Amino acid sequence: MSSVAVVRRNSIFSFLAFGLRLVANAVLFIGIARFYGAAAFGQFSLAHVYFSLMLFVADFGYDFYLASEIGRDVRMTEDLVRKVMPMKIFFSGVAIVFMVACAFITQSASETRLLMIILAVGIPANTLMTLVAAIFRGNQDVLPEARVAFTQNALLLILLVVVAVLGLPLLAVAAVFVASRIYGFFALWHQVRKRFPNLQWNFRLTKSRETRVLTGIGLVFGLHMLFGTLYFQMDTILLDRLKGQEAVGLYQAVMKLTALVLVLNEVAITAVIPVLAESFTADIARWKRIGGVVCKSLHLIGGFFGLLFFLSPGDILTIVYGKGEFLQAAGVMRIFGVILLIRFGMETYAMMLTSANKQRSRMVVVILATILNVIANLFAIPRYGIIGAAWVSLGTNALIALVYISLVSIHMRQWFPLIDSGQLLMFAGFLIAGGVLWQCGISSLIVVLPLAIVLTVGLTFIGFSRNESKVVSSFLHLKTL
């Protein structure tokens, strides 16, 4: 099967898997905001931020490593899983201890602490579920994950409806969230045992030398994944300490919508990383060609949603959360519109660094970015609140993007290897359109949405070269090059 066909198939099923999760999470958080209010939304969002960070401690980067290494040689699947599984189980235990400790150490409200303890129960199931998903992704088969995602999130939606009908407290929402994760793991484990019948539970760590090697790998991948999330979530933790949970609720109202859009980034990572890893080993020219097409495609997606966030934040917040206190986050949402353009634009460079075995460089970058982010937020949040946190996030993302582009340029010995006239036209097109429409006072979503669609379609035709257009056409029309 050609690389286009593989990416196409993986993208479709990855989009289904992540899309179903997106819908379920949207219902979850929007329901909390509407039924429980901004303060409760802030409490659950803060607990969920800690939960997400602890998942990266539990994962320790092994999912990414597993998918990449299996993608290089699928014959190593069972051996790699045998080595990685006990490490994942060990770090899951570490993550639970950290999560519970944070619940008792933090100065948050008592209900936030209880939410954190309940969510901690779901850490092992979630991290083992992603381990199994990484096995399928490395084998370039994400259909089983999509199937389980459908049933898992359907179960979550049903349980959330029950909670709403019965009028149960917020703690019940956390409990059904954890229950859906436990179900997801067992369902996906059943699928992988059918595909790989020789896979077995393994709780025993490997030989000391192999354990040290895996720990070293985990430090690189794990610290990158942890700090790569921390620099984007540290502002929420600092807002809780410096401004209170109502500020957290307003800020997270925008962050959750941003996270929903960034699911499309996750789809690209899931679909493309195994193909890029294979291409880097076998064909550098194809590695660069695929990277160029993916970069432009993601830039179009980021620009489209960024334009909506920048121009119509009030309408979007009203549609999602209803009129009221959440409209105070409109200014934050404008800034995050620019962040989306940057995040989608830099993701390809990040994937290419990983596929080129430059994960250590990415780790160093995000650790330094997190440190700078914390220092800047300690200055900005007390003075400017949630707007200050948003500006710091914009600066951090812009800095990381520039460093990633520089690292790829140095590796390929060519400055800005993926940036051509088409890429510049796309980037400039969204910036100029956003500035002109903003100056003209056009903010209604009814007007902005069709204009954004027309602009995105137009930049698609202008920005892609003839050969790149053939690749995209092949993808969209289900043809194989």
In total, how many domains does the chain have? 1
Note the pLDDT of residue 391: 95
Q: For residue 322, what are its two tokens?
A: 């209803």
Q: What is the pLDDT of residue 459?
A: 85
List pLDDT tens digits, range 434-474: 889 998 888 899 999 999 999 988 888 887 766 666 655 55
Q: Within its chain, how far is the Cα of 391 from the centroid?
A: 20
Average pLDDT over residues 151-176: 88
Question: Quick one: three-class SS letters along the chain?
Answer: CCHHHHHHHHHHHHHHHHHHHHHHHHHHHHHHHHHHHHHHHHHHHHHHHHHHHHHHHHHCCHHHHHHHHHHHCHHHHHHHHHHHHHHHHHHHHHHHHHHHHHHHHCCCCHHHHHHHHHHHCCHHHHHHHHHHHHHHHHCCCCHHHHHHHHHHHHHHHHHHHHHHHHCCCHHHHHHHHHHHHHHHHHHHHHHHHHHCCCCCCCCCCCCHHHHHHHHHHHHHHHHHHHHHHHHHHHHHHHHHHHCCHHHHHHHHHHHHHHHHHHHHHHHHHHHHHHHHHHHHHHCHHHHHHHHHHHHHHHHHHHHHHHHHHHHCHHHHHHHHHCCCHHHHHHHHHHHHHHHHHHHHHHHHHHHHHHHCCCHHHHHHHHHHHHHHHHHHHHHHHHHHHHHHHHHHHHHHHHHHHHHHHHHHHHHHCCCCCCCCHHHHHHHHHHHHHHHHHHHCCCCCHHHHHHHHHHHHHHHHHHHCCHHHHHHHHHHHCCCCC
Cα separation of 294 and 472, whole Å?
9
Whole-number Å distance between alpha carbons of 231 and 241: 16
Rounded-to-integer distance, Cα 111 and Cα 185, Å: 27
d(CA 51, CA 55): 6
Rg (CA), the chain: 22
Please check whether residue 49 lies inside any domain of the structure. Answer: yes
Nearest to 85 by CA among 124, 38, 143: 124
* Inside any domain, residue 48: yes
Mean pLDDT of 53-79: 74
The Cα–Cα gap between 126 and 392 comes to 31
What's the pLDDT band for 286 if we cut at 50, 70, 90? low
Position 7, amino acid: V
Residue 480 has pLDDT above 50, yes or no: no
- Distance CA(98)–CA(348), nearest Å, equals 32
Candidate from 64-68, 81-85, 177-181, 272-276 with smallest mean pLDDT: 272-276
* Whole-number percent of the chain with pLDDT over 90: 15
Residue 478's pLDDT is what? 41
Query: Is 481 part of any domain?
Result: no
Structure tokens at 164: 């709403």
Other CB atoms within 10 Å distance of the CB of residue 358: 17
Does any domain span residue 10? Answer: yes
Dihedral pair phi/psi, residue 122, rounded to 5°: -85, -5
- Chain segment 114-143, per-residue pLDDT in tens: 999 999 988 988 888 888 877 777 776 667
Calculate mean pLDDT across residues 309-337: 87
* Percent with pLDDT over 70 in the chain: 73
Domain annotation covers residue 25: yes
> Is residue 289 one of the residues assigned to a domain?
yes
HSE, CB side, 13 Å, CA atoms: give it for residue 380: 21
For residue 470, count other CB atoms closer than 10 A to its CB: 15
Average pLDDT, the chain: 78
Answer whether residue 194 is part of any domain. yes
Task: Indicate if the pLDDT at residue 2 is higher than 80.
Answer: no
Query: Which position has the token pair 């956003």?
Result: 434
306, pLDDT greater than 50? yes
More confident residue, 400 or 81: 400
Range of the domain at 406: 3-476
Residue 304 is predicted with a pLDDT of 92
Would you say residue 377 lies in a domain?
A: yes
**Within 10 Å of residue 308's Cβ, how many Cβ atoms?**
20
CA neighbor of 374 nearest in space, from 277, 271, 255, 232: 232
Q: In 10 A of CB 442, how many CB atoms? A: 13
Angle in degrees, CA 273, 274, 279, rounded to 5:
95
Residues 6+ apart with CB under 8 A from 458: 429
